[in-house]
Structure 1
Amino acid sequence: MSRPDELPDKSAPQTRTRKGWLSGILQLVLVIGVLAAGVLANNVLSSMSTAPQIRAAGASGVAVSVVQPDIGETRIRLLETGTVQVRNSVELSPQVSGRVVWVNPALASGGTFKRGEVLFRLDGADYRAAIDRAGADLAARQADLQVEQAEADIARREWELVNPGEPVPSNVAREPQLARAEAAVRSAQTALADAERNLSRVNFSLPFDGRVQATAIEVGQNLIAGQSYGRAYEEGGIEVSVPVNAAVLQGLAPAEGREAVVRPRQVLLSEGTVAYAAIVTRADAELDPQTRLARLTLEFTEEVPLLPGDFVDVEITGPVIPGTYRFPESALQENRSVWVVEDGRLARRQPQLVFVEDGVISALPFDTADGIVVGALNDPQEGDPVVSEGDVRADGERP
Structure 2
Amino acid sequence: MFSLSHTTRKLTAASLVLASTLALASCSEEKAETKPDIRPVKIVEIAKATNVRSLEFSGSVKSRTEMNLGFRIAGKVTERLVDIGDRVRPGDVLSRVDPTDYRLAVDSAAANLAAADKSLQTARLVIDRASALYKKDAVPKAQVEQAQLAYDQADATRIAAASSLEQAKNQLSYAELKSDRDGIVTAINADRGQVVAAGTPVLTVVAEDEKEVQIAVPENDIADFKPGKTVEARFWSDDRLVLSGKVREVSGSADPQSRTFSVRVSLPNDPRVLIGMTATVQADAAGGKDTIIVPLSALAEKDGGKIVWTVDRKAATVHSRPVKVADFTADGVGVTEGLKPGDIVVSAGTQFMTENLQVKLPAIVGQVTAGLTN
In the alignment, is residue 318 of structure 1 matched against residue 292 of structure 2? no
In the alignment, is residue 350 of structure 1 matched against residue 329 of structure 2? no
Q: Deviations over 1:143-192 (max 9, x none)?
A: 322332332244344445549xxx95596353321221111111111122
CA distance in 2, matches of 1:127, 1:46: 105
In the alignment, is residue 209 of structure 1 matched against residue 187 of structure 2? no
CA 1:295–1:134 in 2, change beyond 3 Å: closer, same or farther?
Answer: same
Give the TM-score, by structure 1 length.
Answer: 0.67
Which residue does 2:158 correspond to in 1? 185
Counterpart selection for 1:31 from 9, 13, 16: 13
CA distance in 2, matches of 1:108, 1:263: 27
**Shift of residue 205, structure 1, vs aligned partner:** 0.6
Which residue does 1:197 correspond to in 2? 170
Letter in 1 for 2:119: D
Which ranges in structure 2 are unaligned for 5 or more consecutive residues?
369-374
Residues 339, 347 of structure 1: 8 Å contact kept? yes
Residues 156, 173 of structure 1: 8 Å contact kept? no
Give the TM-score, by structure 2 length.
Answer: 0.71
Which residue does 1:234 correspond to in 2? 206
CA distance in 2, matches of 1:85, 1:369: 42
Counterpart selection for 2:73 from 95, 102, 127: 95
Counterpart selection for 1:117 from 92, 96, 99: 92
CA distance in 2, matches of 1:95, 1:83: 34
In the alignment, is residue 151 of structure 1 matched against residue 121 of structure 2? no
Larger Rg: 1
Letter in 2 for 1:385: N
CA 1:388–1:65 in 2, change beyond 3 Å: closer, same or farther?
Answer: farther
CA distance in 2, matches of 1:130, 1:65: 83
Identity %: 17
Residues 236, 279 of structure 2: 8 Å contact kept? yes
CA 1:354–1:170 in 2, change beyond 3 Å: closer, same or farther?
Answer: farther
CA distance in 2, matches of 1:170, 1:318: 87
CA distance in 2, matches of 1:368, 1:238: 43
Backbone CA RMSD of aligned residues: 4.5
Which ranges in structure 1 are unaligned for 5 or more consecutive residues?
1-18
CA 1:142–1:367 in 2, change beyond 3 Å: closer, same or farther?
Answer: same
**Shift of residue 295, structure 1, vs aligned partner:** 4.9
Residues 75, 320 of structure 1: 8 Å contact kept? yes
SS at match of 2:90: coil
CA distance in 1, matches of 2:300, 2:216: 25
Aligned length: 350
Which residue does 2:225 correspond to in 1? 255
CA distance in 2, matches of 1:378, 1:45: 31
CA distance in 2, matches of 1:70, 1:99: 67
CA distance in 2, matches of 1:276, 1:188: 59
Higher strand share: 2
1:301-380 alignment runs, 5 A limit: 301=267, 302=269, 306-308=274-276, 312-321=278-287, 329=295, 332-334=298-300, 337-340=307-310, 346-351=319-324, 367-368=339-340, 371-375=343-347, 376-380=349-353
